[in-house]
Each structure stands twice: as C-alpha cells, then as structure tokens.
C-alpha cells in the first residue's frame, strides 16, 4: 500500500493506492461514509459501466457495515459533462437533503470525477467528495489536484472550479477490465511525468512500460505511485496554476488540444493519445529550437511508439495545415491574450514553460510534421 498526501493548508488529503481497495470501501473510506442528509444513505455517482461492474459489490460491502449507498448513474462518455446532467445531479443530491458535511463518491473515469467534483464545488457553496477512479488516466491525473469542470458549446472544461477531494482511493485491480486502448491512453500521462520532471522514471518506463501497460501488478503500482507523488508535489506548490509549476502538467497538451479539436474531440483520437502525440511534437519542437538533441527527441518518440501510442502526425492523415492547428491552439482555455504557452523540454526529464514561441514558426514546424 502507498499513501501519498496532497499537502494543502487546511485541505490536505490522502491518495491511497492499494490492490483490492474497492472491496474494502467501508473500512477505507469510513470517515467519509457518514450521512448527514435526510435519507441517511451515501450518494454514489457512476456511469453505466462502473455501476454494472462495482455497484453490487459496494452495496454488499457497505451493508455488512450497516451502511447503504444510493446511486445516480450517467451515460459513459463526455456527454455526461453537460449543464443538463449537472442540473439533474444537483437536484438529486438536494433531494437527498445533502449537507455541507456530506461526501459524494465519484466512481468512474475523468468524466464522472469532473462532473461530481464540480457539482460538489457549487452545492451549498461546497460539499465534500471522494474520488474512486477506475481508469489509468483518472488514477494518475484527473482524480488528484481538484480540477473539476463540465463542457459547454464553446468548448471542453470551460465551466469549472478548483475543488479538492477529501480522499482518493486507487485500486489498480479495477484496471483489469479497462480496454487496452484506454490503458495505453492513460499510460501517456504516466510517460508525461517522466518526461516533464524525472529522468530516472522516464528511463525506468523505457524498460518497463510494456509491463505497466500489461498490468503487471508491481510495475503498475510503482508507475501509479511515482506519478501521483509528482502530481501531489506540484499541486501542493501551485494549486491554482498561477505560477509556472502546475502548468508543467500540461506537457503535450497545447499540441494535443489542437489535434483533439481538429478531430472533433471524437473517439478517433482519445485525449491520452492526443497528449502522447503532443509530447512527441513538443520534443521535436524543442530539438528544432536546439534545446534537446534530435536523438533525445526521437528517444521520447520511441518510448511513446513502444506503447502503441501515436508518434507521427503524418500518420494521422489530417486534412489541414499547420496554421489551422495553431488556430485551434488560440482557442485553448490555457491561451493568454497575447501569447500561447508551450511546454517544451530542456532535457528528457525537465520541462519548462515557453512564452516566446513564434506561432508562424510553430505553423511551419507542423506543416513539416504533417507531411514527414
């Protein structure tokens, strides 16, 4: 078992990583399973998949401890992060008589976690929630750090709040049922931690990445714990991304966001896949600026390709040019009025925020990558 604390003044919380946690929820989450609301049962939110896989086990485990869950189930996918689902969820929680002392349990991937976190940020000006992430991406990234949001017509995650969970329980065993493609997409975020801040971890992943993606228990546990430890450190230093520290977690995301926008945020390119290719582009652009060697950029690309993640922009077959991708970047919520932030590499294991990037040069670079 690993317990990593996210140290935030007055709002510190633990991230617990242990195989079999889901089956011992009543014990592991005991302080947060008390209900102060009128129905006396604990609110859980799941999607139809996580509900089908885990609700019965959770109900049984809670019942054995004299507790009961009550469930709100959403459709899987980004469509659950809408105003209308948020409204239904808030109405349901208010109907339960939820109080500010209650905790809502979010059982699912990033969509469920973001939706529940945001509902809990605004309900009665803030109630508690517990994250039970069931995808690798949610386990190593979105469940920790308190970024919560829904999508609107204008874009993804544009309505949201920073609202930290009270506890994150990560059970690597739940990844056994995760489709391989989702597992690889989550692994892109694991590689991100190595590339942005830990050369030794990146080297370890070059050797052991196939074991992580293959769900080898020891390798997976080490990868999750190392990733969370870095995220916890960064969030503690710069919770609201007001300094350049937390922005480092966006390595691969500026390029990746443009690729997701160009492919319509569809299943043809998952978020983690876009981040993977975005990291290849960030590495190659860093080499173009002479900050890392071409050999190091290709080493990063090779680590990504080795996990069967996209490492070639040309292979995506996009019918656009570099200028169109830059235009998508301008609409990223992380864009500032006069400039775009790019996360680039000083070495494999050290990222930095660049604000001096010439967008015409980025477009020219992307034109080359689109046809390489």
User: What is the greatest pairwise CA distance in the chain?
Assistant: 64
Which among 28, 51, 257, 284 is annotated as catalytic? 257
Given the rule CB under 6 A, which of 110-118, 141-149, 169-177, 221-229 is the region that contacts ligand GLY? 141-149
Report which residue's Cβ sits closest to ligand GLY.
Answer: 249
Residue 235: count other Cβ atoms within 10 Å of its Cβ. Answer: 23
Which among 103, 156, 189, 369 is annotated as catalytic? 189
Report the residue from 43, 145, 256, 310 that binds ligand GLY according to the rule CB under 6 A: 145
Our finding on whether 81 is near ligand GLY (CB under 6 A) is no
CA angle, 108 as apex, 123 and 271 as ends, to 5°?
105
Instruction: Answer yes or no: 215 catalytic.
Output: no
Cα–Cα distance measured from residue 372 to residue 367, given in angstroms and rounded to the nearest whole number: 9
Given the rule CB under 6 A, which of 109-117, 139-147, 265-273, 315-323 is the region that contacts ligand GLY? 139-147
Instruction: Answer yes or no: 189 catalytic.
Output: yes
CA dihedral 163, 2, 185, 166 (to 10 degrees): -10
341 touches 353 (CB < 8 A)? yes
Which among 103, 147, 156, 163 is annotated as catalytic? 147
Q: How far is the CB of 139 from ligand GLY (least distance, A)?
A: 13
Considering only residues 209 to 248 of the shown chain, the ones binding ligand GLY according to CB under 6 A are 246
Q: How far is the CB of 238 from ligand GLY (least distance, A)?
A: 9
Place of tokens 């570099």: 322
Q: How far is the CB of 249 from ligand GLY (least distance, A)?
A: 4
Instruction: Answer yes or no: 163 catalytic.
Output: no
19 touches 171 (CB < 8 A)? yes
Q: How far is the CB of 231 from ligand GLY (least distance, A)?
A: 7
Question: What is the DSSP pairing of strand 155-162 with strand 147-152?
Answer: antiparallel
Instruction: Answer yes or no: 125 catalytic.
Output: yes
Q: How far apart are the first and last CA of the chain?
A: 46
Instruction: Answer yes or no: 87 catalytic.
Output: no
Query: Whose CA is closest to 342, among 296, 264, 283?
Result: 283
Under 8 Å CB-to-CB from 284, ≥6 apart: which residues?
Answer: 297, 301, 365, 369
- Paired strand residues for 130: 105, 167
Q: Which is nearer to ligand GLY, 6 or 119 (CB)?
A: 6
Our finding on whether 369 is near ligand GLY (CB under 6 A) is no
Our finding on whether 141 is near ligand GLY (CB under 6 A) is yes
Report the residue from 147, 163, 192, 284 that binds ligand GLY according to the rule CB under 6 A: 147
Which among 61, 156, 241, 284 is annotated as catalytic? 241
Burial of 337 (0-12, 13-18, 19+ CB in 10 A): exposed
Q: Which is nearer to ligand GLY, 288 or 334 (CB)?
A: 334
Under rule CB under 6 A, how many of the chain's residues touch ligand GLY?
Answer: 5
Place of tokens 């896989």: 53
Instruction: Answer yes or no: 147 catalytic.
Output: yes
Instruction: Answer yes or no: 336 catalytic.
Output: no
115 touches 157 (CB < 8 A)? no
Query: Whose CA is closest to 111, among 333, 248, 223, 265?
Result: 265
Question: What is the DSSP pairing of strand 42-47 with strand 69-74?
Answer: parallel
Report the residue from 22, 127, 168, 249 that binds ligand GLY according to the rule CB under 6 A: 249
Our finding on whether 47 is near ligand GLY (CB under 6 A) is no
Q: Which is nearer to ligand GLY, 193 or 202 (CB)?
A: 193
Q: How far is the CB of 179 from ligand GLY (least distance, A)?
A: 21
Which among 253, 260, 273, 284 is annotated as catalytic? 253
Q: How far is the CB of 81 from ligand GLY (least distance, A)?
A: 15
> How large is the angle between the packed helices 359-371 and 271-288, nearest 10 degrees?
110
Q: Which parts of this chain interact with ligand GLY (CB under 6 A)?
A: 141, 145, 147, 246, 249
Q: Which residues are catalytic?
A: 125, 147, 189, 231, 241, 246, 250, 253, 257, 271
């Amino acid at each position: 078992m690993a317990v990593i604390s996210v140290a935030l003044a007055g709002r510190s919380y633990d991230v617990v990583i242990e195989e079999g946690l889901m089956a011992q929820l009543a014990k592991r989450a005991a302080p947060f399973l008390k209900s102060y609301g009128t129905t006396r049962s604990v609110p859980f939110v799941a999607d139809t998949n996580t509900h089908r896989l885990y609700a019965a086990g959770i109900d049984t485990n809670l019942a054995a401890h004299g507790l009961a869950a009550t469930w709100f189930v959403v459709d899987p996918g980004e469509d659950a992060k809408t105003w209308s689902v948020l409204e239904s969820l808030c109405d349901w929680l208010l109907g339960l008589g939820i109080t500010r002392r209650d905790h809502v349990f979010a059982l699912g991937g990033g969509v469920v976690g973001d939706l529940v976190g945001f509902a809990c940020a605004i309900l009665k000006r803030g109630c508690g929630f517990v994250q039970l992430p069931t995808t690798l991406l949610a386990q190593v990234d979105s469940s920790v750090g308190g970024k919560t949001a829904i999508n609107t017509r204008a874009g993804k995650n544009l309505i949201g709040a920073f609202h930290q969970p009270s506890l994150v329980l990560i059970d690597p065993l739940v990844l056994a049922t995760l489709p391989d493609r989702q597992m690889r997409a989550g692994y892109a975020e694991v590689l991100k931690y190595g590339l942005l801040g830990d050369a030794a971890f990146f080297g370890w992943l070059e050797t052991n990445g196939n074991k992580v993606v293959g769900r080898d228990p020891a390798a997976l546990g080490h990868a999750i714990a190392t990733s969370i430890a870095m995220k916890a450190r960064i969030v503690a230093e710069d919770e609201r991304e007001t300094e350049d520290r937390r922005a480092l977690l966006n390595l691969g995301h500026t390029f990746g966001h443009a690729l997701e926008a160009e492919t319509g945020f569809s299943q043809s390119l998952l978020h983690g896949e876009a981040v993977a290719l975005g990291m290849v582009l960030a590495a190659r652009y860093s080499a173009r600026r002479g900050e890392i060697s071409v050999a190091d950029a290709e080493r990063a690309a090779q680590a990504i390709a080795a996990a069967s993640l996209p490492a070639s922009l040309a292979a995506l077959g996009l019918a656009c040019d570099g200028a169109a991708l830059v235009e998508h970047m301008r609409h990223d919520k992380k864009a500032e009025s006069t400039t775009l932030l790019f996360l680039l590499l000083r070495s494999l294991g050290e990222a930095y925020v660049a604000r001096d990037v010439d967008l015409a040069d980025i477009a020219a670079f992307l034109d080359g990558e689109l046809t390489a």
